Amino acid sequence: MTECFSNDSYNQQLEKKIDNLKTLLSDFSLPELAVYSSPISHYRMRAEFRIWHQDEDLYHIMYDKKTKKRVRIDEFPVATKLINQAMQAILPLLKYNQELRHLLFQIDYFSTLSGQLLITLLYHKKLNEKWIFEARKLKTQLAKQGLDVNIVGRASNQKITIDVDYVDEVLPVMDRKFIYRQVENSFTQPNAAVNIKMLQWAISVTKNSSGDLLEFYCGNGNFSIALAQNFRKVLATEIAKASVYSAQHNIAVNHIDNLVIARLSAEEFTCAIKKEREFNRLKGINLDDYQCETVLVDPPRAGVDLNTINILKSYKKIIYISCNPNTLHNNLQLLTQTHSIQHFAMFDQFPYTDHIETGVVLCKK
């Protein structure tokens, strides 16, 4: 196992990704690629495992993607040391607790660099008051082992939170520390060390920007909160309620006074900015107060749809964070009709996989 997580094996996979990315995007005029590497192990802040019951024993498993066979997981160097510690601590406590182990089929771990941990237990049964009592006892037992843990129980159409359903991350970015509330079952960047590098890159490529910033798909405010220092005003949009609530909290706790979140999709925002439709969710926000010249988009793997592409083209500067180089390629074919690529970066969010995270900055021709 340790041989897989060596400097040599990591550097080999990184070089392969660099070559693949350059080849895929070779039909564009590209500046020099900036490469941001990951720690070689213990880099993933989240991990999900199925739980296998065998007689009186139980243990974590994952399924091999090629063979579909189950693989017992006793240690997981991909995940943070905190998650590995929790994996070792929780199973003996569950093993002899019939209420907590009965019909338990999955455990999700969600950790932070700041030392907080959220554990979600998933069941094929309805959870009751007895489960709540035992889950609180489990939290106390884990605390005695030095684990700052909150627990969530999930079953069909049911969610029970033991205290809170979030963790508060603290990311040191350049000369500041940003606090991010991250809610269970909501999207967050999985590799915190690389996320810090992404934020530093985004800050550096937006230095001395003119006008205001607009961000689509802002999530919990990961980028917009860090970038607010480079703009007069920032307007960010997000459609998921849980992410909007997290973003609002993060704006307040980081004392950001020039950032506003609107719960709108990209299409709805376009209708609003063109005054084609009014939205109650924009109450208190005067869009005429914003002169957005820069737009940031961090879309899902499917990339940006055609309507949003046309929206992006109207801005002087586009910051595109991509988790899928194939859809990025397709989107760049359209965006480079009006914009040229000024900055090009690769972030190794997912070491030892084929996944590539890319950052591109385009400026209007």
Q: Which residues are marked as active site?
A: 323, 357
Q: What is the Cα–Cα distance from 290 to 241, expressed in whole angstroms?
A: 23
Quote the strand ranges of the chain, DSSP E.
33-36, 46-54, 57-63, 70-73, 104-111, 116-123, 148-155, 158-162, 166-173, 176-183, 212-216, 234-237, 259-262, 292-297, 317-322, 339-347, 357-364
Mode of pairing for the β-strands spanning 148-155 and 158-162: antiparallel
Nearest to 132 by CA among 157, 118, 110, 151: 151
Q: What is the Cα–Cα distance from 113 to 46, expressed in whole angstroms?
A: 12
- Asked if 51 and 106 count as a contact pair (C-beta separation under 8 A), the reply is yes
| DSSP reduced 3-state for 139 | helix
Residue 125 C-beta-side C-alpha neighbours within 13 Å = 12
